[in-house]
Amino acid sequence: MSAVSDLLAFQRETEALAQIMGRLGWDQETMMPRGAADQRGDEMAALEGVLHARRTDPRLGEWLDRAAHESQTQTHTQTMAEAAQLRLIARAYARACRVPVALAARIARVTSLSQGRWAAARKAEDLSGFLPVLAEVIALRREEAQALASGGDAYDAALQGYEPGITGAEIAAVFDRMRPRLVALRAGLRDGPDAPVLHGHFPRAAQLALAHEVAGAFGYDLTRGRIDEAVHPFSSGSHNDVRITTRIDETEPLGCIYSTIHEVGHAGYEQNITQDYGLSVLGQGVSMGVHESQSRIYENQLGRSPAFCHWLYGRMRDHFGPLSVSSPEAFTRAVNRVASGFIRTEADEVHYNLHIMLRFDLERALIGGDLAVCDLEAAWNDRFAADFGVAVDRPSDGVLQDVHWPVGLFGYFPTYSLGNVYAGCLHMALRAAVPGLDDRLAQGDLAPALGWLRDNLQIHGALRDPRDTVEHATGAPVGEAPLLTYLETKYSALYAA
C-alpha cells in the first residue's frame, strides 16, 4: 500500500462519518421526537469528537509527507484527482491543527449556549442583555481566526472556512462596484397600488404535489433523495443520499415552490458530482459560494425567468384552480415583485445583495477589531437606512434577525452574494452556449440548462478551487458585471411593462 492509498482510505471513512452527522441533522429537523433533543445533543457531540480526532490525527501529517516523497521520487504518479484530494486534505489538516483544542471546545460550548440567548433576546426585542454573549462569541472567533491566520488577516482566515482562495479585500472591491448600481436600481423600481399580488388558499397537499413536480423538472433524483417539510428549508447530504426540505404556508404558495427550487439547486449539485468522487473530499460542492451559485441560478435566473414563469403559471392553475393574477405576465410580476423589506431571507433579487453587503462590512469590522459590539446596532441601523431608504423598526427586523453571528458564523454571509455573482457569470455563459433557452424554459424544459451546468461545473465537485471551478465552466474571469447587467435588464423591462 502506498501512503496515498492509506490516506485516502482513512479519509473515505472520515467522509462517511461526516455524512452520518449530516443525516442526524436532517433527522433532527424533520423526524426526531421533540423529547429526544438533549440526547441528540449528546449523540452529535460524541460523533463530533470522533470527527475532530480524525481531522487532527497525526497520521494525516505522516501520510501527507510520505505521499509528497513518493510523488517526488516517482514511486507513485498522482492523477489530477489524487493531487486535488491531497491538496484539500493537507489544507484542512493544517487548519484543524492550528486551533488549540481548548479553544475549539470553548467555542462549541459558548455558541451552543448563545443560540438560545439570541432567540430569547429576539423574542424580547432587546439586544442589551445579549450583547455580552455576542461579545464573547466574537472574541472567541477572533482568537480562532488569528490562530488560523498565523500573522495574516484574521477575517481572511475566517473566510477560508467557507470560500477558500478569496480575501476580504477582493470581496470588498466587488461589493463596492455593485452597491451604487444596486441602490440606483432599487430606487427606480416602484410598485403601483394595482401591482399584481397572489392571494387565496393553497392546500398543503397540492403545494407538496407541485413541489415534487417542480423538483422533478429541475432534475432532482428522488431515488437518491426525498422531500420533507421543515421550518427552515435546507439541503443535506452528498453523493447518493441528498435530501431536501421545504416549507408550506397555505396562504402563500411561492415560498414553497421557490424554496424547493433553491434547495434542488443545492441538492442537484451534490447529486450530479461524478460517482468516482463519492465519499471523497472531491465528492461535495467545492464551497459555500459555488453551492449558492447553483441554488441561485436554479431559483432566480431559471426559476424566476419570465419564460419559466409562463409555464409555471399553467401548472399553478392546474394544481390550485383560477388564481388572483389573471395572466402569465401578471404572475411573472408577482413572482418578481421588488420591495424594500427588513428581512434578508425574504428579499428579492435586487435587494438581496444589499443585505449581504451590510453584514459583510459590519462583520469584517467586528473581527478586525474596528467596530465594538456596543456600536453594532447603531451601525446596522444607519447603514440600513442609507441603502434601503427605510428605518429599522425593531431588533428582530434588524441586527437580531439572523442566527449566523449568534452561532459564531463569521465569513459566511458574503458567500451568499458571491453565489449570486457566480450565478451571473454562469448564466451569461449558459445563454451563449444554449441558444433558444427561453423557448425551452417556456415549456418547463430545463434539460438544456441543467445539462450545461452539470457537464461544465457540477460533475467536477471539488476538483478545482472555487473561482477556478466557475471560470473553468464559463471560460471567463469571475466578475460582478454579468449579474448587474442581468438584474438591470430584467427589472427595468418588468417594471416598464
Give the active site residue among 263, 349, 363, 480: 263
Return the number of the residue (53 or 496) whose C-beta is nearest a second copy: 53
Instruction: Decide: is 222 part of the binding site for a second copy (CB under 8 A).
Output: yes
Is the distance from CB of 466 to CB of 290 less than 8 angstroms? yes
Q: What residue type is assigned to position 61 of the chain?
A: G
Q: Half-sphere exposure (CA, 13 Å, Cβ side) for 52?
A: 14
Write out the three cell numbers for 202: 393553497
Candidates 55, 76, 98, 226: give the one binding a second copy (CB under 8 A). Answer: 226
End-to-end CA distance of the chain: 67
Return the number of the residue (12 or 181) whose C-beta is nearest a second copy: 12
Instruction: Decide: is 39 part of the binding site for a second copy (CB under 8 A).
Output: yes
Q: How far is the CB of 467 from a second copy (least distance, A)?
A: 30
Instruction: Decide: is 375 part of the binding site for a second copy (CB under 8 A).
Output: no
Fill in the DSSP letter of residue 51.
Answer: H
Instruction: Decide: is 23 part of the binding site for a second copy (CB under 8 A).
Output: yes
List, edge to edge, every strand of the sheet that includes 227-229. 227-229, 243-246, 235-236
Instruction: Decide: is 31 part of the binding site for a second copy (CB under 8 A).
Output: yes
Select the span of 6-14, 86-94, 186-194, 400-408 touching a second copy (CB under 8 A): 6-14
Is the distance from CB of 371 to CB of 379 less than 8 angstroms? yes
3 state DSSP class of 248: coil
Instruction: Decide: is 36 part of the binding site for a second copy (CB under 8 A).
Output: yes
Select the span of 117-125, 162-170, 223-231, 445-453 touching a second copy (CB under 8 A): 223-231
Q: Where are the alpha helices (DSSP H) in 125-222?
A: 131-149, 154-159, 168-187, 204-217
x-marked contacts with a second copy along 255-294 as a string, rule CB under 8 A: -----------------------xx---------------
Q: How far is the CB of 29 from a second copy (least distance, A)?
A: 13
Select the span of 39-47, 118-126, 326-334, 366-374 touching a second copy (CB under 8 A): 39-47
Instruction: Decide: is 170 part of the binding site for a second copy (CB under 8 A).
Output: no
Candidates 87, 106, 224, 247: give the one binding a second copy (CB under 8 A). Answer: 224
Instruction: Decide: is 239 part of the binding site for a second copy (CB under 8 A).
Output: yes
The CA distance from 464 to 282, in Å, is 9
Gyration radius from the chain CA atoms: 23
Give burial (CB, 10 Å; 0-12/13-18/19+) of 496: exposed
Q: Where are the alpha helices (DSSP H) in 402-478?
A: 413-433, 437-441, 447-456, 466-474
Instruction: Decide: is 385 part of the binding site for a second copy (CB under 8 A).
Output: no
Q: How far is the CB of 31 from a second copy (least distance, A)?
A: 7
Q: What residue type is assigned to position 344 of the chain?
A: R
Q: How far is the CB of 412 from a second copy (least distance, A)?
A: 27
Instruction: Decide: is 27 part of the binding site for a second copy (CB under 8 A).
Output: yes
The CA distance from 264 to 267, in Å, is 5
| Catalytic status, residue 263 | yes
Return the number of the residue (42 or 194) whose C-beta is nearest a second copy: 42
Is the distance from CB of 225 to CB of 207 less than 8 angstroms? no
Return the number of the residue (222 or 497) whose C-beta is nearest a second copy: 222
Candidates 17, 172, 195, 442: give the one binding a second copy (CB under 8 A). Answer: 17
Q: How far is the CB of 15 from a second copy (least distance, A)?
A: 8
3 state DSSP class of 228: strand
Return the number of the residue (35 or 180) whose C-beta is nearest a second copy: 35
The CA distance from 61 to 96, in Å, is 12
The CA distance from 491 to 441, in Å, is 19
Select the span of 33-41, 127-135, 163-171, 354-362 touching a second copy (CB under 8 A): 33-41
Q: Which residues contact 80 (CB under 8 A, 6 or more apart)?
A: 463
Residues in the chain: 497
Write out the three cell numbers for 107: 467555542
The CA distance from 54 to 463, in Å, is 22
Instruction: Decide: is 216 part of the binding site for a second copy (CB under 8 A).
Output: no
Q: Half-sphere exposure (CA, 13 Å, Cβ side) for 134?
A: 27
**How far does Cα 216 stand from its chain's mean position?**
21
Q: How far is the CB of 46 from a second copy (least distance, A)?
A: 4
Name beta bridge partners: 228. Answer: 245
Candidates 5, 49, 232, 386: give the one binding a second copy (CB under 8 A). Answer: 49
Instruction: Decide: is 208 part of the binding site for a second copy (CB under 8 A).
Output: no
Q: Half-sphere exposure (CA, 13 Å, Cβ side) for 184?
A: 8
Select the span of 107-115, 175-183, 203-211, 224-232 touching a second copy (CB under 8 A): 224-232
Candidates 78, 167, 240, 396: give the one binding a second copy (CB under 8 A). Answer: 240
Count of residues interacting with a second copy (CB under 8 A): 38
Select the span of 45-53, 188-196, 260-268, 388-396 touching a second copy (CB under 8 A): 45-53
Return the number of the residue (239 or 291) whose C-beta is nearest a second copy: 239
Q: Which residues are catalytic?
A: 263
Binding site for a second copy (CB under 8 A): 12-14, 16-17, 19-20, 23-24, 27, 31-36, 38-40, 42-43, 45-47, 49-50, 221-226, 239-241, 243, 278-279
